[in-house]
Structure 1
Amino acid sequence: MTFSIIGRCPETGQLGIAISSSSICVGARCPWVRAGVGVVATQNVTLPALGPQILDLLDGAQLVPQQALDRALDANGWSQYRQVTVLDSQGRGASFSGTETLGTHGAVHGEQCVAAGNMLAGTAVVETMARAFENAPGLLAERLLAAMRAGLAAGGEAGPVHSAALQVVGDLVWPIVDLRVDWADDDPLGELERLWQAYRPQMQDYLTRALDPTAAPSYGVPGDE
């Protein structure tokens, strides 16, 4: 029901995820990012708690991704239904697909990325996504979206997808990119890319407003001087 790519930019240290699903509101349950710590995709029969739990273990217990993933799965049970990918702040990855993962599924570890999916049109989808991320230029958000486009072109999910999300963290405690399409009858990834194109020119302005209001550009609203 879902395919995703988690990735890290070695130049900036940014971490991020792009994800799409046939289910509604995938961005509310499956993507988890924490600045300076890691990024998690928890999908298939989703247990959202796995995201923050794994990030806590990476951060507080300072475990490597596979250790954090294994410990969180063991603590919660029903691991046979889960599909989870993890990437830490150093770019080390881990993945798990339980025996009850739906349909054609798989996970591929690439350079600074992990791509995974279930109910896929074919196993080549996630391989294509990882290679596309590795070869894409630009900002991390754009590389993640390029990987999703490549996965969709390779067949994507076996059925239609209806929701999509994109999250990126940098040096700050809040995401610098947090965009969602909770439902679209057609092409949620296209809608997500249009959101990104609208948001990208304003991204730095929102950071400036938060960190130094005196340097903030005009808000462009009535009463703004």
Structure 2
Amino acid sequence: MTYSVVAYDPELKAWGVGVASKFLAVGAVVPWLKVGVGALATQAFANVRYGEKGLELLRKMNAESVVKSLTADDPMRERRQLGVVDSKGKAFAFTGKECHTYAGHIVGEGFAVQGNILVGSEVLEVMARRMERRGKFHRKILEALEAAESKGGDRRGKQSAALKVVAEGTGNFLIEAGIYVDIRVDDSTDPLPELRRVLELWEATFLEDEMVDLSAYQQEIAEGLKKLGVRDFRTWIEMNNFEAKYDGRKVGKTVLKVFLRSCCGKELNESP
């Protein structure tokens, strides 16, 4: 009843899981990951005990060994589905013979995609193709989920989705704790567009950004502030916790995009 991707990015030194399902709060069940260790997705007749146990095993085993170890003594293994990527980016997956059709997985370089109760194999195929292309790691995972949905996704419908990425690095208090992206949509008639909206807010608030000169967007900002009924741009910045992306002269590009969408429902004109 779910499709997911587990992946590793060697440049970012990051591990990620993206998942969508016709199931309440899938982000509470499927994704398990730890910086420097790996990532795991447990689904179908999900065994949440695979999560912590799998991460512990990943400290000393590769992905294939972890999958085989977790499933070996599980009497319900033929109803389980599992995707794992280890600390070195090697991936492995398992789909039990009793998972509801269509069920399957594809393992690629640095990723595995898996799903059950899907409309067909094309859902996984389009996910794998997206993961094989270049792009920002967290965006690529989201786009793989969106590609799956474009092919029909979970044949029962839509309800929830989640995107989690852990990474090694420095920056704000979240990144220094290994948390790069951590967002969920627990109950929605169309969860992936909402997950994208929340991701854009996350990027604007927490991730590194290109700074742009406010003087180039004075008219758009003035019109937007008037529509929102906000006194000045600094006030809007402070109301929305974007102070780290604003110095009075410049603002983060993703922050400006959020502003224009919230006030005017339009995209940023890169060359005003």
TM-score (structure 2 length as normaliser): 0.72
Q: What's the CA shift for 1:90?
A: 1.1
Q: What's the CA shift for 1:153?
A: 1.1
**Structure 2 counterparts to residues 46-61 of structure 1, below 5 A:** 46-59=46-59
User: In structure 2, the residue corresponding to 1:176 is in which secondary structure?
Assistant: strand
Separation of aligned partners in 2, 1:201 and 1:134? 26
Q: Is contact 1:35–1:173 with CA below 8 Å preserved after alignment?
A: no
Separation of aligned partners in 2, 1:173 and 1:84? 26
Q: 1:155 aligns with which of 152, 161, 178?
A: 152
Separation of aligned partners in 2, 1:2 and 1:166? 14
- Of 36-45 and 172-181, deviating more is 172-181
1:26 aligns with 2:30: no
Separation of aligned partners in 2, 1:101 and 1:173? 36
Separation of aligned partners in 2, 1:80 and 1:56? 23
**Structure 2 counterparts to residues 61-72 of structure 1, below 5 A:** 62-72=60-70
Q: Which runs of 5+ in 1 are unaligned?
A: 206-218
Q: Is contact 1:19–1:165 with CA below 8 Å preserved after alignment?
A: yes
Separation of aligned partners in 2, 1:87 and 1:56? 13
Q: Is contact 1:13–1:89 with CA below 8 Å preserved after alignment?
A: no
Identify if the C-alpha distance between structure 1 residues 200 and 3 changes in structure 2 by more than 3 Å, giving closer, same or farther: same
Q: What's the CA shift for 1:136?
A: 4.2
User: In structure 2, the residue corresponding to 1:164 is in which secondary structure?
Assistant: strand
What RMSD in Å do the two structures reach over aligned CA positions? 1.8
Q: Is contact 1:20–1:26 with CA below 8 Å preserved after alignment?
A: yes
Q: Deviations over 1:44-103 (max 9, x none)?
A: 0111110111110111xx111111111112244311110000001211011111111112
Q: What's the CA shift for 1:41?
A: 0.4
**Structure 2 counterparts to residues 27-176 of structure 1, below 5 A:** 27-59=27-59, 62-138=60-136, 140-171=137-168, 172-176=176-180
Q: Is contact 1:136–1:146 with CA below 8 Å preserved after alignment?
A: no
Q: Which runs of 5+ in 2 are unaligned?
A: 169-175, 209-236, 244-272
TM-score (structure 1 length as normaliser): 0.86
Q: 1:220 aligns with which of 238, 256, 263?
A: 238
Residue type of the alignment partner of 2:187 = W
Q: Is contact 1:8–1:14 with CA below 8 Å preserved after alignment?
A: yes
Q: Is contact 2:58–2:87 with CA below 8 Å preserved after alignment?
A: no
Q: What's the CA shift for 1:40?
A: 0.3
User: In structure 1, the residue corresponding to 2:36 is in which secondary structure?
Assistant: coil
Q: Is contact 2:13–2:167 with CA below 8 Å preserved after alignment?
A: yes
Q: Which runs of 4+ in 1 moved over 4 A?
A: none
Percent identity, aligned pairs only, is 32
Q: What's the CA shift for 1:201?
A: 1.3
